[in-house]
Structure 1
Amino acid sequence: MTPPPLMPINAHGGEWARYEAALYDVFVRDIIRHDLRFRGIQVNARRIPEHERKWACFWHMISEGSVEDDRIPDMRRCERLSQVRWIIENADAVEVIDIWEQTREREKNWVLWYEEFYLVVLAHRSGYYLLKTAFCTDRDHQVRKFRKERDAYYAGGG
């Protein structure tokens, strides 16, 4: 099983507006309108606060930054947006997707880590999962941190 191909900006003429529209179309198709499930349970996305009439979750998956209105597009995140649905739906079937439960403060999340490079975070909610974000783990300290977290989870019988 292989993931969908990357979506580079140059496939859209290198024009950000066209690329952003294509990315949002993928987000709507794969996340909002698709019956997306992880382990049989519905996966939803956060809509509010919308920015430029696009859902909050979309912005978190294609950009980075701590201030909502000042987030900066991350081309690596953008290129991989079409892989989010595939990772969620195939997490238990694909060997190169590591899965573990993570606790951040009082929130429990499932972490899906594809090839130790692209990470998808699903938060536990009552009766569903909330797709929080997806991002590349391309910094050495990030990889070490997530390996340690994953390995501790598996060592504990997870």
Structure 2
Amino acid sequence: MSAPDLLHFEDLDGDWDRYEAALYQVFEQDIIKFDLSFRGHPVNARRAPEHERKWACFWHLISEGRVEDDRLPDLRRCERIRWVRWVIENADVCGDIDVWQNRRNGETNWLLWYREEYLVILAARTGYFLLRTAFCTDREHRCQKLRRERDK
């Protein structure tokens, strides 16, 4: 079982506006309008604060940075926008996805790690999950930390 094809910047002739629109279309179809669920509970996305009429969660899925207003697009995250829904839907049936819980800042999170390459984080809420973010795990230090946490 393998993840969906990547959506490359070059697929839209290197036109950022068209690429961003295509990414948002996938986000709308796969996250907002789709009846996405994990372990029998709905998965919701954070809408506010919207930026350029796009949901806050969208920006977390395609950009990186510690300061919210200074996040920059990350093409590796962008390319994998189709993987978010796929990882969530297949977390319990695909042997290439490791699933575990952690606690951060008093919250319980579910980590869904595909081939130690791509991590989706869901925050547990009462009766639903909140899609926090998703990103590539290409830094060895981060992978080592995640492996230790997963293997506990």
Q: State the match for 1:99 in structure 2.
A: 99
Q: State the match for 1:134 in structure 2.
A: 134
Tell me how far apart the structure 1 counterparts of residues 22 and 115 of structure 2 sit (CA, whole Å).
25
Q: Secondary structure at the match of 1:81?
A: coil
Tell me how far apart the structure 2 counterparts of residues 64 and 116 of structure 1 sit (CA, whole Å).
19
Aligned-CA RMSD value: 0.6
Q: Note the 1:44-55 alignment, pairs <5 A.
A: 44-55=44-55
Structure 1 stretches (4+) deviating beyond 6 angstroms?
none
Deviations 1:89-122 (A, max 9, x none): 0000000100000111200000000000100000
Consecutive unaligned residues in structure 1, runs of 5 or more:
153-158
Alignment of 1:79 with 2:76, yes or no, is no
Tell me how far apart the structure 2 counterparts of residues 127 and 52 of structure 1 sit (CA, whole Å).
30
Tell me how far apart the structure 2 counterparts of residues 121 and 149 of structure 1 sit (CA, whole Å).
14
Task: Return the TM-score normalized by structure 1.
Answer: 0.95
Q: Note the 1:1-158 alignment, pairs <5 A.
A: 1-152=1-152
Q: Secondary structure at the match of 2:81?
A: helix
Q: How many residues align?
A: 152
Taking only the aligned residue pairs, the percentage that are identical comes to 64
Consecutive unaligned residues in structure 2, runs of 5 or more:
none
Shift in Å at residue 2 of structure 1? 2.0
Task: Return the TM-score normalized by structure 2.
Answer: 0.98
